[in-house]
Chain A
Amino acid sequence: MNCTRRNFLIGGSTTLFLSGYFPKISFASMQKKNLIIISLRGGMDGLTAIPVIGDKRLKKLRKKLILEDVLNLNSDFGLHPKLEIFHKLWQKNQAAFVHATNIPYTGRSHFDGQNLMETGAHIPYKEKTGWLGRGLLASNIIGKGLAISLPMPLLLRGVPQNNNFFPSPDFVETKLIDQIYNEFKGEHNELIKSTLDTIRQRPLSMQIATDSDDRKKLALEAAKQLKDQSGPRVAVFDLDGFDTHAAQGGVDGAHADELEEVNKIVTILHENLGQAFDNTLILTLTEFGRTIKQNGGYGTEHGYGSAILMAGGLLKKSQVYTDWPGLKKKELFEGRDLNSTIDSRAVYNSAMSICFNQDPEFLRKEVFWGDELPDLSQELFKI
């Protein structure tokens, strides 16, 4: 079939602008809720991750990128076979997707786009903090961010005392840390001293961890931390390599390799969060999608609309949430890209409101300068 616009919009567009929502303080909200963001750098191709089923135009434009063995989601959309954990969770109402969505950026530069996906702003490099950092600060959640990377990602900047975990090639002996710690006195060393406190209070598993090249280990440790009721509430993973200009392929192409990495992280998080998975939201973030048409290298170029992959027990139900723009030439952005009909920041704002027990309207003002971002929490998440 050829999907047409608005087939999938749940409840019609008016519900998108529901406002005046305030969360009730209930027992559920006492439970720690985790928000995990996986950054997919390079431009994730939403049409590879969540392909439209039976669209003739797509088939014609992507002759060499056609996916076989697509996992079934519903009559209109499939799932890339490498994303099997999402398929498994889909059966349990613990996976969902937002499609034809992106940050409001159409410039097609990785660097500007990645800057904007993290700051949530409109003008590249203008803001120096990330939307997640501002969201935490506005919600007065301090010292609860965990970055799985060496530099503190821009996304988390804006709130103090974040932790990061990305172990060095070899571990550091505890007695050395203790010895150094004992030397740090004096007022001007407060920051270093409190950071050393954080290091010393780390669980043994974190202290002896090495080898940040092993994403499995990192995800495993993150899961352990997030599971802890007094541990971090937010974690940020960083993946790159989605910029597949050549040999993008289908089931086994270069893009599939990257999706497999996402699958790996989510699988480990799911396996190891245990009960805490019920109080968790995992969302992906990317700077843009990719062109509909394959290029001369059987890859794709930088595009616009993409998709958000979501997992976790805080999802309302399994669904592909979209205001589908269609793939006819006139329906495409500038005649070449999947359009974006949902500002992805609305999804992130709503996710923060759920995980931080915060009024989405308040967050929208504090974090996104009052930009018009509909509250999607009722459609997407368990309230």
Chain B
Amino acid sequence: MSLNFYRRVAFGLSPNEKPDKDPLNWAINQLDTIPDLLWPGTIPTEKDLRKKYGEWVYGDREVLRKKFKNDKHAYRKAKDELRIKTGERYFELNEHAIRHFQTKYSKQPVFERFWLFWGNHFAISEKDFLAEFSTGPYQREIIRPNMVKTFEDMVQSVTTSWCMIHHLDNSESFGPNSKKGMEWGETINENHARELLELHTVSPNAGYTQEDVIQLAYIMTGWAHKWDRKNLETGDIWFDQEMHQKGDKIVLGVKYKNDAKRELAKVIHDLATHPICIKFVSTKLCRHFITDEPTDEMINPVLEAWNKSDGNLIEIHKAVITQAYKYNENTHKFHPPEIWLMQLSRMFDLNIPLSFEKMNYTFKSKPNNRQRQLSWILREIGHSPYRAKQPNGWSDLEVDWVSPELLLRRFWFASVELPMLVKSGNRSHGFILSCLKNNFEDHENMASLIDNLKFGTSDYDLGQKYGVICNLPGVLKI
């Protein structure tokens, strides 16, 4: 088995890890339990961060805008101070650190790859201040605990999470015949219903119509955040009967009797167990771990595992890994920038993320450059994980990641920035060679490309070496 399997399903092997005698079992055994988050620094709860979100929007919208209405300079200054006080510039940095610490040190890196997958399948794209305060805890508290349950459980949790409801505007969706809908002349907002169908479950392959979207939106009306003058839109999610569309609904030919808050769980059950949903999500899983255009032959065993286990994610994950193992030798997969960075960090033991002591934040001044470094790198290589531009998340296709500038950004990172992330004990040529040997069959050939620089240990020399090594065909792509 090629060593690239460790990058296909995880992040490669760190200098103190050795290839396993049975790589398939090594991988499969990582999927039964949820590994603890290893980050020794602060891991705030979703609820705490939502409170901060509230302080920030209230402070800006209700206080500062009114106070400094005549003075854009004073307004900007006061706003910057509020950013510092509420952590508006800090929490996302901390979330990136938590995430990258996990993928770097986890004893179950294969599990972590699935964590990234699901977080992106149920993506929260860039909207309002979600990336600043909410997307990180959503990944930790909504996505992660559901990874040992069923797919349906995950859809239920995601759909009623504050983060997704805010992201897709369900709090602004009123049943036109509901009490509030009639009083205020409001109607549905279809966003969340459409994405639940299109992106999260059955996909357009199910052939749903605009009427199906509307009917599902009716079912979803009432699932909204609580609102009050002080917390604004950051209240807990509840079911507001006064927003809910009365009457029976029909989605994809199935009738849902007027049953208030219980309608949603029923329709999610049907969507999450729909054969087309199973096919759609299985294909995405195979695309992520095997190749951009997986064949039916690759996907079918995953479908079988799904059906046999009634959508148990542990069994589904194991089937995906088994297929990834089976097809490892003759398929190729291009990895998006963030996974590439995580792999380099693990394989070459790079100095990211920053230590938790140095990440410590006092809410008294702007986060410093070192604290911002990882997030800055992610942005510069074009893959800030919680800032996808659209609710369909980041693409998993090579064609979307190979543009002139996006490739150049990787060359830049490896040749200019990476040397500054090499730990002081790891600057020798021998260290690079041993990492290569640990991760690539082709290591001798790779080593020959940097052989002329074997005595160089300056940042510039390291840049010359890593610049080439990290961007070779067998590294950008497995």
Contact = CB atoms under 8 A, between A and B. Distances in A.
Contacts of A298: 69-70
A247 interface: yes
B68 interface: yes
B123 to A, nearest CB: 11
Contacts of A163: 403-404
Contact of B69 (A169, A172, A246): A246
Interface residues of A, number: 58
B380 A195 contact: no
Given A169-B412, A188-B332, A150 B406 contact: yes
Contacts of B473: 183-186, 189, 192
A298 B402 CA distance: 45
B358 interface: no
Interface residues of B, number: 53
B297 to A, nearest CB: 19
Contact of A191 (B190, B398, B408, B472): B398
Given A180-B471, A296-B69, A195 B194 contact: no
A115 B68 CA distance: 32
Given A151-B389, A176-B415, A183-B473, A198 B68 contact: no
A75 B439 CA distance: 73
Given A112-B191, A165-B405, A177-B411, A246 B64 contact: yes
A176 B402 contact: no
A109 B169 contact: yes
Contact of A253 (B72, B190, B411): B72
A254 B194 contact: no
B58 to A, nearest CB: 14
Nearest to A126: B194
A168 B404 contact: no
A284 B228 CA distance: 38
Contact of B411 (A115, A180, A191): A180
Contact of A247 (B69, B127, B400): B69
A172 B415 CA distance: 8
A151 B390 CA distance: 12
A247 B404 contact: no
Contacts of B64: 246, 297
Interface in A293-331: 295-299
Given A176-B468, A202-B404, A296-B65, A151 B382 contact: yes
B390 A154 contact: yes
B72 A125 contact: no
Interface string A144-161: 000000111010000010
A162 B403 CA distance: 8
A203 to B, nearest CB: 13
Contact of A192 (B68, B198, B416, B476): B476
Contacts of B407: 192, 195-196, 199
Given A169-B412, A195-B402, A154 B389 contact: yes
Interface in B56-75: 61, 64-66, 68-72, 75
Nearest to A181: B471
B403 A245 contact: no
B69 A125 contact: no
A124 B332 CA distance: 34
Nearest to B405: A164
Given A107-B189, A125-B195, 9 more contacts: A64-B70, A125-B198, A164-B404, A172-B416, A183-B473, A189-B477, A192-B334, A192-B398, A246-B69
